[in-house]
Structure 1
Amino acid sequence: MENDRIAGSAKDFAGRVEGTVGDIAGDAKTQAAGRIREATGTAQNLYGQAKDAAREATDAAVNYAKDAYENSGDTFRDGSQAIAKKVQDNPLGSMLIAGGIGFALGLLLTRPPHHPPQRGRQRL
């Protein structure tokens, strides 16, 4: 529990007591001071709750990232094994797919760059 939440709850309680004493005594100044202290305590308590929620969300995100990082090696290894099994089961299909990918990459890399027409110069 955050210190702001504890202090805020204490101020909130003290403000309620002070406001009640002001009500009973009929002292508007004490009553107003109690309401102000109560509002300040409530705000501080809410601030502490927000800090706790942010800390919990950050911790959850860090734990999720650690788990993902630790399991990434297993995922890569499982994927590699699955691809190796597919290649062993169907070597001809695998060669055709690899050849198609190579052909597409070759077309992309050897294509001349596209130049837009120049403006400002007119042909006669």
Structure 2
Amino acid sequence: MNKDELQGGARYIGGKVEKTLGDVGEIRDWQVDGVVDQVAGGVQHAYGRAKSIVGDVVDSAPELADEARDRLTSAADRATDVAQHGGKVAVDTLREEPAVWVLAAGVVGYALAWLIHGRR
């Protein structure tokens, strides 16, 4: 709780008391002043609360950034591991079945040529 929250709450309660006394004594000035103090106290309290929330967000920002960095690093490491594993599988398959790779390369080459040049 910061200074504005505390002062705003106190002013709001003081305004409530002042309005109640004005209602009991039928004193119009106290009633009006009490309502004004209630509104001003409520606004000051809300401002203080917003200030506290922003401060909490700013204080936690480095922790959130660190957590995001850790998650991104972990995801990149996993992606690298998957890519390396896929490359090793491809190399092993190429060594074991070279004819399949030659056929696949021919099909891909033909498809690219057809896409680039189209039918003539």
Per-residue CA deviation, residues 24-71 of structure 1 (Å, 9 max, x unaligned), is 112111111111111110111111222233334444544322101133
Equivalenced residue count is: 95
How much does 1:77 deviate?
2.1
Amino acid across the alignment from 1:5: E
Q: Structure 2: how far apart are the matches of 1:74 and 1:20?
A: 62
TM-score, normalised with respect to structure 2: 0.66
Match of 2:32 in 1: 32
How much does 1:6 deviate?
1.5
How much does 1:16 deviate?
0.4
Instruction: Note the residue ranges of structure 1 that are not aligned, 5 or more in a row.
Output: 101-124
How much does 1:22 deviate?
1.1
What are the equivalent positions in structure 2 for 1:1-124 lying under 5 Å apart?
1-91=1-91, 92=94
Q: Structure 2: how far apart are the matches of 1:38 and 1:17?
A: 10
Bigger mean CA deviation after superposition, 8-17 or 56-65: 56-65
Structure with greater proportional helix content:
2
Amino acid across the alignment from 2:84: A
Match of 2:117 in 1: none
Match of 1:32, SS? helix
Q: Structure 1: how far apart are the matches of 2:74 and 2:27?
A: 71
Match of 1:19, SS? helix
Q: Which runs of 4+ in 1 moved over 4 A?
A: none
**Superposition RMSD in Å:** 2.3
Instruction: Note the residue ranges of structure 2 that are not aligned, 5 or more in a row.
Output: 95-100, 110-120
TM-score, normalised with respect to structure 1: 0.64
